[in-house]
Amino acid sequence: MKILLVEDDELLGDGIQAGLEQAGFTVDWARDGSAAAHALDTGAYQAAVLDLGLPRLSGMDVLRRARAAGLQLPILILTARDALADRVAGLDAGADDYVVKPFELAELQARLRALVRRASGSAAPLLTCGALQLDPGRRQVRFGGRAVALTTREFAILHALLLGKGRVLSKAQLEEQLYGWGEEVGSNTVEVFIHHLRRKLAPGLIRTVRGVGYLIEDEPSQENAGPPQVFLSPSGAETAKLFPGGAHDPISPLPPAFPAPPPDRPAGGGRPARLGGDRGLQLPRCAS
């Protein structure tokens, strides 16, 4: 999940960037309003965190320009201005949320996740597709009921594909979600991560659209719907059948796959960081 951070205070901005990146966000940091407006015009972000008191161009001007240009990404205002009139003005100008400094970093992370969920058309905290479940808050992935360990960038690619489920994302779009400004991008980085995800989850979960990009379909194929459900026939013989959508309709016992062997042949067998107080940064104490 790629975020644009707009903050002119170096100490506070450094703390916010570090905290968001630790939670799995990719962060570009603009230190003035003009740089922020340019980044919004040219970059691909899933949300923005915007201070109001900025040099060169105010945060309110950045917000108004973005909305006038038709940009729909969620924008969260993060400011020391706590007056009711300021909050109302910010929300009426097009902000999706308004957080007053000082603030808890964990709350900022949760608010960003909620904004991105709503923008993608889902209010549920879990992103799902067939047997696949991704929890952005806990940074956990489960497939067919089992936990799957992913690296930070494998998780980021899977998250982006699930947010855009049913749409093809190009290699360049996925790279945008993985890397911030100034980070070097390998020529086959995305292909490598896609290969790892297919190996850890299911080969057919992520489709390649040749010459275009990758997608996870709205309706998973039968092979990616999870492990088969096992039913016992009245005779005790095990039969297995996959049901689309996880239906549990009763079935008749299946005939044996192989005839019984002849008689003469035997059968084989710390407290969260608080940021922005007096425009400073308060870090949690480390246990001795």
Q: Are residues 182 and 199 in the same domain?
A: yes
Domain assignment present for 82: yes
What is the C-alpha separation between 111 and 146, in angstroms, rounded? 28
What is the per-residue pLDDT for 219? 64
Domain assignment present for 202: yes
pLDDT tens track for 167-176: 999 998 888 8
Q: Quick one: CA dihedral 284, 46, 185, 203, positive or negative?
A: positive
Query: CATH no. for residue 104?
Result: 3.40.50.2300
Domain assignment present for 53: yes
The residue-averaged pLDDT of 216-237 equals 48
What is the C-alpha separation between 200 and 50, in angstroms, rounded? 37
- Kindly list the distances between the CA atom of residue 252 and the CA atoms of 35, 233, 259, in Å, as whole numbers in the listed order: 67, 8, 19
Q: Are residues 88 and 142 in the same domain?
A: no
The residue-averaged pLDDT of 83-99 equals 96
Least confident stretch, 115-124, 182-191, 229-238: 229-238
Q: Are residues 115 and 7 in the same domain?
A: yes
Domain assignment present for 61: yes
What is the per-residue pLDDT for 234? 36
Q: Are residues 11 and 116 in the same domain?
A: yes
The one-letter amino acid code at 254 reads L
Least confident stretch, 24-38, 43-57, 91-105, 263-277: 263-277
Least confident stretch, 44-58, 138-152, 216-230: 216-230
What's the pLDDT band for 238 if we cut at 50, 70, 90?
very low
Domain assignment present for 33: yes
Q: Are residues 132 and 40 in the same domain?
A: no
Domain assignment present for 111: yes
Mean pLDDT (the chain, rounded): 79
The residue-averaged pLDDT of 217-235 equals 46
Q: Are residues 43 and 146 in the same domain?
A: no
Q: Which domain holds residue 152?
A: 127-222
Q: Are residues 90 and 158 in the same domain?
A: no
Percent of the chain with pLDDT over 90: 49
Reading the block at residue 155, the tokens are 């998780």
Domain assignment present for 69: yes
* Cβ proximity of 279 and 9 under 8 Å: yes
pLDDT beyond 70 at 129: yes
Domain assignment present for 283: no
Domain total of the chain: 2
Q: Are residues 191 and 81 in the same domain?
A: no
pLDDT beyond 50 at 28: yes
SS (H, E, C) the chain: CEEEEECCCHHHHHHHHHHHHHCCCEEEEECCHHHHHHHHHHCCCCEEEECCCCCCCCHHHHHHHHHHCCCCCCEEEEECCCCHHHHHHHHHCCCCEEEECCEEHHHHHHHHHHHHHHHCCCCCCCEEECCEEEECCCCEEEECCEEECCCHHHHHHHHHHHHCCCCCECHHHHHHHHCCCCCCCCCCHHHHHHHHHHHHCCCCCCEEECCCEEECCCCCCHHHCCCCEEEECCCCCEEEECCHHHCCCCCCCCCCCCCCCCCCCCCCCCCCCEECHHHCEECCCCCC
Q: Are residues 171 and 185 in the same domain?
A: yes
What is the per-residue pLDDT for 44? 84
Q: Are residues 17 and 106 in the same domain?
A: yes
Q: Of the candidates 177, 200, 222, which is a domain's last residue?
A: 222
pLDDT tens track for 50-66: 999 999 999 999 999 99
* Cβ proximity of 1 and 24 under 8 Å: yes
Query: CATH no. for residue 200?
Result: 1.10.10.10
What is the per-residue pLDDT for 201? 92
Q: Are residues 111 and 147 in the same domain?
A: no
Burial grade of 217 (CB within 10 A; 0-12, 13-18, 19 or more): middle
pLDDT tens track for 239-286: 333 334 443 333 334 444 444 445 454 444 455 555 665 444 443 433
What is the C-alpha separation between 282 and 274, in angstroms, rounded? 6
What's the pLDDT band for 221 if we cut at 50, 70, 90?
low
Q: Are residues 102 and 16 in the same domain?
A: yes
The residue-averaged pLDDT of 101-113 equals 93
